[in-house]
């Protein structure tokens, strides 16, 4: 009985997190509740978790660039409330 309740709580919590994230992404896109398509939302989620492939040495392409690369550093953005501060 305890296992069933635990799995139920996990399922409900997961659904709540997805609903809240969907609502936040809708608002960021300037859309009303329910106007963001599931296809667009799934593309947003995939882009969020799409990381560079690891190489045989275990380092990602970004980590291999190291200090000697000429590429500008990637800005770090901190979100506080509705504003975003990028440095």
Domain ranges of the chain: 1-51
Give the pLDDT of residue 51: 65
Tokens of 51: 């990381």
Task: Please tell me the predicted confidence (pLDDT) of residue 52.
Answer: 63
In contact, 78 and 84? CB cutoff 8 Å:
yes
Q: Are strands 83-86 and 77-80 parallel, antiparallel or unpaired?
A: antiparallel
Model pTM score: 0.52
**Can you tell me which residue has the tokens 């992404």?**
25
Structural tokens at position 43:
């593309």
pLDDT at 1: 76
Helix (H, G, I), strand (E, B), or coil: what is residue 78?
Answer: strand
**pLDDT the model gives residue 49:** 84
Q: Across the 87 residues of the chain, what is the mean pLDDT of every consecutive 10-residue run?
A: 92 94 89 86 86 52 53 74 75
What's residue 36's pLDDT?
A: 86
What is the distance between the alpha carbons of residues 17 and 8, in angstroms, rounded to a whole number? 14
The pLDDT value recorded for residue 69 is 58
pLDDT at 72: 74
């Amino acid at each position: 009985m305890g296992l069933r309740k635990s799995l139920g709580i996990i399922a409900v919590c997961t659904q709540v997190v997805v609903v809240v994230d969907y609502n936040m992404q809708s608002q960021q896109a300037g859309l009303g509740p329910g106007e963001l398509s599931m296809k667009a939302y799934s593309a947003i989620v995939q882009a969020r978790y799409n990381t560079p492939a690891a190489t045989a040495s275990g380092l990602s392409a970004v980590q291999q660039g190291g200090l000697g690369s000429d590429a500008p550093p990637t800005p770090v953005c901190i979100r506080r409330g509705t504003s975003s501060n990028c440095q």
